[in-house]
Structure 1
Amino acid sequence: MLVGYPALYAFEVLKKLVQAESVTFPMAVLTGLGNVLHISLGYYLSQHTSLGYLGPAVALSLLEVAVFGGMLGYLLWWNPMHVAWCVEWGWPAAWSHVSQFFRFGVPGMLMMLIEWGAIEILTLVAGILPNHILTIGILSSTLNLWYMPYFGLSVAATIRMGNLLGANKPEKAKRVMSLTLRLSFAFALVTASLLLLLSPILPRLVVNDVDIVAYVRVMLHNRCFRAMGKQDVASGVNAAAFYLVGVPVAVLFGLYFKWSVEGLWSGFTLGSLSANFIYQFLLSRVDWAVVAQDAVDRE
């Protein structure tokens, strides 16, 4: 894994730069091909070599290097957009932006740590429950099954809203936010329906519609505040909702009332609903013209 980390970090930096130019299709192609490579190579290394369970990790490291190489190739030969970036380096200019970098970066980091930290706490609590291996499997499988598609939708909304706010187009940014929330609601209902239909072949892997809709909308609200440069607000809301409501109620229902995995999900859902209500209230009071002007001023 250590071999792949430098390539992963470099790819993430290049990805953000390319996303700022509203270019996303090449990255989708690269990561799609990378997933095919990861699955194929991981299966081969784990099943047909002496690496065993280390095979998928080795395949992942090779994948990260390959995807980074593909991104470099795209920028150097296929679409050398970096030529127009006019990148200039100087210590005075760099230091002048350090405070701004930490002002937005640290709250954004805390926002993700708080959100995922709550999920990991639930995973630890699941280890105390009877049939803990099955319970942890349900939690992790469910998250992987329905989190990633909506994460992609939220990233797309962040990029689009950020670009529109930077271009001083607040009304269009507001429309993107509304459209994204409506899409998330529709997709969440589809996901819930699929889980219910597939439940006979996915034992006990059934989640209420409310669970999915609530958490998906929280995640998208997070991204809306990130696009507005208000990560500190999202961090505070996440901390209050998940650590004052979600996790304590999940522990109470799951351990004290012995509701098992249903209790954990119920508590987490209450935390998500609490965050959703707070976000809805805050977004209803946003002055989009002021937010857009702030984004322009930062440029």
Structure 2
Amino acid sequence: MVAPEAGTVGRRKTWADECKNLWQIAGPVILTGVFQFLIEFVTAAFVGHIGKVELAAVSIVNGVIEGLAYGLLLGMGSALETLCGQAVGAGQLHTLGVYMQRSWIVCLATSAALLPLYVFTGPILRLLRQSPAISAVAGRYARWCVPQLFAYAVNFPMQKFYQAQSRVWVMTLISGAALAAHALLNWLVVARLGRGLVGAAMVGNVSWWLINAAQFAYVVGGSFPEAWTGFSRKAFSSLAGFVRLSLASAVMLCLEMWYYTAVLILVGCLKNPEIQVGAVSICMNYNMWTLMVSVGFNAAVSVRVANELGAKHPKAAKFSVVVAVVTSAAIGLIFTLVTLLARKQLPRLFTDDGLLVKETAKLGYLLAATISLNSIQPVLSGVAIGAGWQSLVAFVNIGSYYLVGLPLAAVFGFKLKLNATGIWVGMLIGTILQTIILVVILFRTKWEKEAMLAEERVRAWGGNLELPTIQETR
């Protein structure tokens, strides 16, 4: 790694080297995310040929039940981005295997706590006033998907283990192969053998556990001789501090993911919501695809900042932040311009309904602004993970999103009768506020002290150490 403070190379070469370091992580992470997202897409595509009720049931389970579990477990696993990344920078590779095993314990325990959500999906959906027919089918499907719940708990810690060491292409290749196998198995089990929803759920279980098996085989096969030395009893020690950081990571990530879900719920409460919900859903779909790029940079800058802080290179960590924000913002600007220029054409890929196309086009300007902002905000969140600021950012998210953004969205959408446009404006204000606060935090950060904190975390093995808040490092 090239540290900007080393003074042995020119700035232009240093910028190029840092861009290379970022893309070596971000590129594979983006592809991995796309492949894993397409696993659910392929399932929905095959189930859609069974019937409308079945498709609606699977969509609800994927979007609500599994979305909740996925986000929570991904957040819990994100604690490893801080601990493993800083340990790699400090050269303490022997701790990574123990960290990953601790994360497995925490995530598997979380999955067990989430199990009632899957078992009682049907009654829960009926309490939320969903269709009885859809609720019944969704409940049956969710129970068959329980193995996927525990697959997530095993998968996410391994992903962070790989990412911290910049060994991400392996994950991409495994996910791509699993996607191909998933499509083939769905064709055989669902389409040809007619096994219906049960078959679709079983195929999903097999696909996710194939990913886990392949990734684990690569870990124990000698590819990480220093980082993986076998199972250890040390994984059960110092769990309290690890749980605290994991919970902070989960809260931080889930508050961001649930923000968009809350916006959709608000839009669904409008009078005659069909067109409004359709328009917002189309825009959210495009926003999600552009977010995959930002999420790639989120992971990349998290690894780079953690590595450099762990290696006691505070200036290099700061420079990584600058390069990541500028690069992601530049890509976001391209997406923004495309959205503005094609705002009347993009909806036609989803619908031929003239009224829906018109309403979606009206939201095009807000979608463009959201895409531009979301090219920066996830990168700043990645910096927070790499530096270990999860608790602070969780509070920032609560204030920005839930005390400002959503109340304003409700006022604009319902009181001022601006409908979906008003709700989106409120959401955007919350995101802008959160981004501004994170930028201020970055400007006030004393990176030398952050490097000292990283050293303390590595020394404490992520366990008994009470992590200071960011205010203590100013």
Unaligned runs of 5+ in 2: 1-144, 348-356, 459-474
1:162 positional shift: 0.9
Partners of 2:395 and 2:178 in 1: CA distance: 36
| 1:252 match | 411
**Segments of 4+ moved more than 6 angstroms:** none
Contact 1:11 1:68 in 2 (8 A): yes
| 2:264 match | 123
Partners of 1:106 and 1:173 in 2: CA distance: 25
**51-60 or 236-245: bigger deviation:** 51-60
Structure 2 counterparts to residues 152-231 of structure 1, below 5 A: 152-196=296-340, 197=342, 199-202=344-347, 203=357, 204=360, 206=364, 207-231=366-390
2:345 aligned partner, one-letter code: P
Residue 232 (1) aligns with residue 373 (2): no
Contact 1:34 1:63 in 2 (8 A): yes
Q: 1:238 to 1:44 in 2, by over 3 A?
A: farther
Residue 14 (1) aligns with residue 158 (2): yes
Partners of 1:209 and 1:139 in 2: CA distance: 10
Structure 2 counterparts to residues 53-68 of structure 1, below 5 A: 57-68=201-212
Q: 1:55 to 1:137 in 2, by over 3 A?
A: farther
Partners of 1:258 and 1:32 in 2: CA distance: 46
Contact 1:215 1:273 in 2 (8 A): no
Q: 1:88 to 1:34 in 2, by over 3 A?
A: closer
1:291 positional shift: 0.3
Bigger relative contact order, structure 1 or 2 (CA pairs below 8 A, ≥6 apart): 2
1:259 positional shift: 2.6
1:234 positional shift: 0.7
Residue 80 (1) aligns with residue 223 (2): yes
| 2:282 match | 138
Contact 1:215 1:269 in 2 (8 A): no
**223-232 or 29-38: bigger deviation:** 29-38
Partners of 1:263 and 1:56 in 2: CA distance: 39
Residue 35 (1) aligns with residue 205 (2): no
1:80 aligned partner, one-letter code: S
| 1:89 match | 232
Partners of 1:216 and 1:49 in 2: CA distance: 44
1:277 positional shift: 0.9
SS in 2 for 1:108: helix
Partners of 2:194 and 2:423 in 1: CA distance: 39
Q: 1:75 to 1:218 in 2, by over 3 A?
A: same
| 2:431 match | 272
SS in 2 for 1:104: helix
Partners of 2:228 and 2:386 in 1: CA distance: 22
1:273 positional shift: 0.5
For residues 25-66 of structure 1, give each alpha carbon's deviation from its aligned partner in whole angstroms, at most 9, with x where no partner exists: 101222233334445544665555535566654443222011
| 1:107 match | 248
Q: 1:142 to 1:267 in 2, by over 3 A?
A: farther
Unaligned runs of 5+ in 1: none
For residues 185-218 of structure 1, give each alpha carbon's deviation from its aligned partner in whole angstroms, at most 9, with x where no partner exists: 1121222233342641423263443222223322
SS in 1 for 2:167: coil
Query: Out of 257, 278, 284, which is 2:443 matched to?
Result: 284
Contact 1:22 1:160 in 2 (8 A): no
Partners of 1:138 and 1:53 in 2: CA distance: 26
Q: 1:190 to 1:5 in 2, by over 3 A?
A: same
Structure 2 counterparts to residues 44-59 of structure 1, below 5 A: 47-48=191-192, 50-52=194-196, 57-59=201-203
Alignment RMSD (CA, Å): 2.5
Partners of 1:38 and 1:177 in 2: CA distance: 37
Partners of 1:109 and 1:153 in 2: CA distance: 19
Contact 2:308 2:316 in 1 (8 A): yes
Partners of 1:45 and 1:194 in 2: CA distance: 40
Contact 2:309 2:317 in 1 (8 A): yes
Q: 1:264 to 1:37 in 2, by over 3 A?
A: farther
Identity %: 21
TM-score, with structure 2 as normaliser: 0.57
Aligned pair count?
296
1:128 positional shift: 1.5
Partners of 2:346 and 2:386 in 1: CA distance: 39
Contact 2:331 2:375 in 1 (8 A): no
**Structure possessing the higher radius of gyration over alpha carbons:** 2
2:400 aligned partner, one-letter code: A
2:386 aligned partner, one-letter code: A
Q: 1:59 to 1:265 in 2, by over 3 A?
A: farther
Contact 1:107 1:232 in 2 (8 A): yes
1:124 positional shift: 1.0
